[in-house]
Every structure is written in structure tokens, then in C-alpha cells.
Structure 1
Amino acid sequence: MLPTFNIVGDIVVVEHVSRHYRKLDLGDVVVCVSPTDPQKAICKRVLGLPGDYVCVDPTLLERRYITVPPGHIWLQGDNYTNSTDSRKYGPVSLGLLRGRVLCKIWPKFEWIRNGFEEQVSQSSMDRELVVER
């Protein structure tokens, strides 16, 4: 999840309750049991929700798309060129979800932001600036 998190040493707060009450949003950072090694946890960003149509790997010339099945999510790491994620192991069962990352508390406190919300806000602001001119 570089650059959001360091390779080792970061301590994060994971909120386990709202996954049962609040829906996941695109861009949320979550912790799941690894689909390939149940002894490990993974930390990835949600890029597809059930029913979403996602491109498996947009860097390939021949693009392949998949519809995220019910009860699953599509996860990808922020370090796109060096991340083992849904591009390798496919959609991840919601049963493996353990919680949403709220903030990093070590080595420096930082709220974990939903990157998609920031992009939407920025593009909305850009549109407003264009309209005002």
C-alpha cells in the first residue's frame, strides 16, 4: 500500500463494527484475511463493489473486464505496479473482510482518506470554477 503506508512499522486503527451497518464505499481502505494465506492479513483499497464492472488490469493492451459477484469486493493496492491484489486472486469474499482502516497512529498520526471522495470533490470544484468564469 505504498505510498499510503510504509512497508513495515505503521500502526493503524481498524474499525470493525461499521462493516455490518454502513456500506463500503469505493476508495475505502480495508483489512481482510488474505485469500491466498489465511494466516495473513492484507490491507488494500476497495475498487469494486458487488455488481461493479471492473477492468482486471488496465495496463495490458488486451483489457479484460469482470463483474464483481454478489458478496465480493475488488481490492487493489495503492502501489499499483507492485501489489498482489484482486488482479492476481480475483474478487475477495466479504466474509474475509475484517474492518475499515480509519487512521494511522504510528509513526505519525494521519487520517486515512478515501481517495475517490477527494477526486470527486476536486473535479466538482473545477467545474464550479469553470462555471463562474
Structure 2
Amino acid sequence: MLPTLSISGDILLVEHLSSRFGRIKVGDVVVATSPLNPQIRVCKRVIGLEGDRIGYCPNSHGIFATSVTVPKGHVWLQGDNSLRSQDSRHYGPVPFGLLQGRVWLRVWPLQGFGRLN
């Protein structure tokens, strides 16, 4: 999530009600269980909700090579560092049930203090 979040790690406050009640919107930063490894949590930005058509480039050439419609019950997640992020461009739409919560506030480091969305 560079440059939004620090490479050395940030302390984030995550609220869990939005993901449980379906109140996630495009632009929210969320924490989710990785679809590739359930032992890992990922922090990504919501780019699309169910029914949205997303154009994306699965490689680093910078040209939209394909598009996908986000299926019912899923979201499309991407990291802010598009050249290095492992996200929905690699593992596809993420089931809504894997979302653990919406990042509400960055607490630390202090110079970046504030809401993320």
C-alpha cells in the first residue's frame, strides 16, 4: 500500500461493522484474509463492488489488456503501489466474506496521522 502506508509498518484502527453489514464502498482501504493463503492478512483498496466492470492490466505494460465484471458477493481489491502489489489482478475478485474490516484511522506514525479515506 505504498505510498499510502509506510514500508516500516503503520498502526491502523480497523472497524469491523462496515464489512459485516455490507457498507464497504469504492475507495475504502480494507483488511482481508488473503485468498491465496488464509494465514495472511492483506491491506488493499476497494476498486470495485459487485456488478462493477473493472478494466485492468495483468502485467506491467500499462495498457488495459482486459476487463472483468465483479461477481455477486465479491469485491475487487488493489494495492496503491500498482507495479508491486499482489492483488485482485493476480487472484481475481475477493469474496466479501474474506473482508475483516475497513481501515478507519492510521494511528502511527504521527506524521501520517489521519483518516485514510
- Please report the TM-score for the alignment, with normalisation by the length of structure 1: 0.79
Q: Equivalents in 2 of 1:102, 1:31: separation in Å? A: 11
Equivalent residue pairs, number? 113
Q: Equivalents in 2 of 1:22, 1:33: separation in Å? A: 16
Q: Which residue of 2 aligns with 1:131?
A: none
Q: Equivalents in 2 of 1:38, 1:97: separation in Å? A: 12
Query: RMSD between aligned alpha carbons?
Result: 1.6
Q: Which has the higher strand share?
A: 2
Q: Equivalents in 1 of 2:41, 2:47: separation in Å? A: 18
Q: Equivalents in 2 of 1:19, 1:80: separation in Å? A: 24
Q: Which residue of 2 aligns with 1:105?
A: 107
Q: Equivalents in 2 of 1:99, 1:8: separation in Å? A: 21
Q: Equivalents in 2 of 1:24, 1:62: separation in Å? A: 25
Show CA shifts across 1:34-86 (max 9, x none): 01111010000000100011013185546211110000000000011110000
Gaps (5+ residues) in structure 2? none
Gaps (5+ residues) in structure 1? 114-133
Q: Equivalents in 2 of 1:62, 1:48: separation in Å? A: 16
Matched letter for residue 24 of structure 1: I
Q: Equivalents in 1 of 2:97, 2:55: separation in Å? A: 23
Q: Which residue of 1 aligns with 2:3?
A: 3
Q: Which residue of 1 aligns with 2:32?
A: 32
CA contact (8 A) 2:11 2:108 kept: yes
Q: Which residue of 2 aligns with 1:119?
A: none
Matched letter for residue 68 of structure 1: V
After superposition, where does 1:77-88 map in structure 2 within 5 Å?
Answer: 77-88=79-90
Identity rate of aligned residues, in percent? 51
Report SS of the residue matched to 1:51.
Answer: coil
Q: Which has the higher helix share?
A: 1
